[in-house]
């Protein structure tokens, strides 16, 4: 009887330690690693011409584990002006050698001839190739853009007139940049830090 109690006590301590180690390992790795990828035609919310263009670029959309799911891979919003509904998409594209996958962010807006796409820049002009974490996209309202500017840039960054949303590109769930379309160009503004 005494051995059974001692064995039960040792087993419960070992299980508790294993659970604690598993939980600490979960917090140390990136929060939303890729679990699989989806082809653009599998995302039925995207307009057919946007799907076709992404397919022609050999794009696959990441599907994240955790709270983002597929939604962190694309979003819609009024990115060019308040009257158009545009799409921003995180895209995995093979490099020329076919050995590496590069992350891209494309923004699509309606055009009289179909849809036009812009590729947004990456931090410091570098590709995030080989990173252990992923990018995500979301719509940033004018209020969010002003809040980031006030809180993180000390209100020093000169903001354009904010008549529509920006595209917030998140990096590794730690930081972000906001891309705001104005006068034919994408301006990079302060995001989360």
Query: What DSSP line would sit under 63-96, residue for residue?
Result: EESSS-GGGGGEEEE--S-TT--EEEEEEEEE-T
Q: How far apart are CA 47 and CA 154, in angstroms?
A: 39
Tokens of 58: 């050999």
Nearest residue to 28 via CA among 170, 135, 132: 132
Q: How far apart are CA 61 and CA 70, in angstroms?
A: 8
Is the per-residue pLDDT at 81 higher than 80? yes
Three-state secondary structure readout of 13-47:
HHHHHHHHHHHHHHHHCCCCCEEEEECHHHCCCCC
Q: How far apart are CA 9 and CA 6, in angstroms?
A: 5
More confident site: 122 or 96: 96
pLDDT given at position 131: 53
- Under 8 Å between Cβ of 55 and 41: yes
Binned at pLDDT 50, 70 and 90, residue 23 comes out as very low
Is the per-residue pLDDT at 87 higher than 60? yes
pTM for the structure as a whole: 0.73
Per DSSP bridges, beta strands 175-182 and 185-190 are antiparallel
Binned at pLDDT 50, 70 and 90, residue 112 comes out as confident
DSSP-based helix, strand, coil % in the chain, nearest 5: 30, 35, 35
What residues does 166 pair with on adjacent strands?
Answer: 140
Is the per-residue pLDDT at 3 higher than 50? no
Binned at pLDDT 50, 70 and 90, residue 177 comes out as confident
* Mean pLDDT, rounded, for 81-107: 85
Is the alpha carbon torsion for 72, 30, 188, 152 positive or negative? Answer: positive
Tokens of 59: 């794009």
Q: How far apart are CA 16 and CA 142, in angstroms?
A: 47
pLDDT given at position 151: 81
Place of tokens 């919003």: 77
Binned at pLDDT 50, 70 and 90, residue 125 comes out as very low
Is the per-residue pLDDT at 15 higher than 90? no
Compute the half-sphere exposure of residue 117: CA atoms within 13 Å on the CB side of its CA.
18
Q: Report helix, strand or coil for 160.
A: coil
- Lowest mean per-residue pLDDT among 1-15, 81-95, 154-168: 1-15
Is the per-residue pLDDT at 2 higher than 90? no
């Amino acid at each position: 009887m005494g051995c059974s109690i001692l064995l039960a006590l040792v087993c419960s301590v070992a299980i508790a330690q294993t659970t604690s180690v598993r939980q600490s390992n979960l917090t140390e790795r990136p929060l939303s690693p890729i679990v699989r990828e989806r082809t653009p035609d599998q995302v039925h919310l995207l307009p057919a011409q946007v799907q076709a263009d992404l397919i022609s670029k050999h794009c696959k959309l990441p599907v994240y584990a955790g709270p983002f799911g597929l939604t962190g891979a694309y979003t819609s919003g009024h990115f060019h002006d308040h009257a158009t509904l545009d799409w921003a998409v995180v895209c995995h594209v093979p490099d020329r050698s076919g050995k590496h996958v590069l992350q891209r962010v494309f923004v699509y807006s309606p055009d009289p001839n179909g849809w036009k796409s812009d590729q947004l820049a990456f931090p410091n002009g570098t590709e995030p190739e080989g990173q252990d974490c992923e990018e995500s996209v979301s719509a940033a309202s004018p209020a969010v853009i002003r809040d980031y500017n006030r809180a993180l840039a000390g209100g020093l960054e000169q903001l354009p007139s904010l008549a529509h949303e920006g595209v917030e590109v998140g990096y590794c769930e730690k930081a972000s940049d906001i891309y705001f379309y104005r006068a034919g160009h994408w301006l990079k503004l302060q995001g989360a830090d």
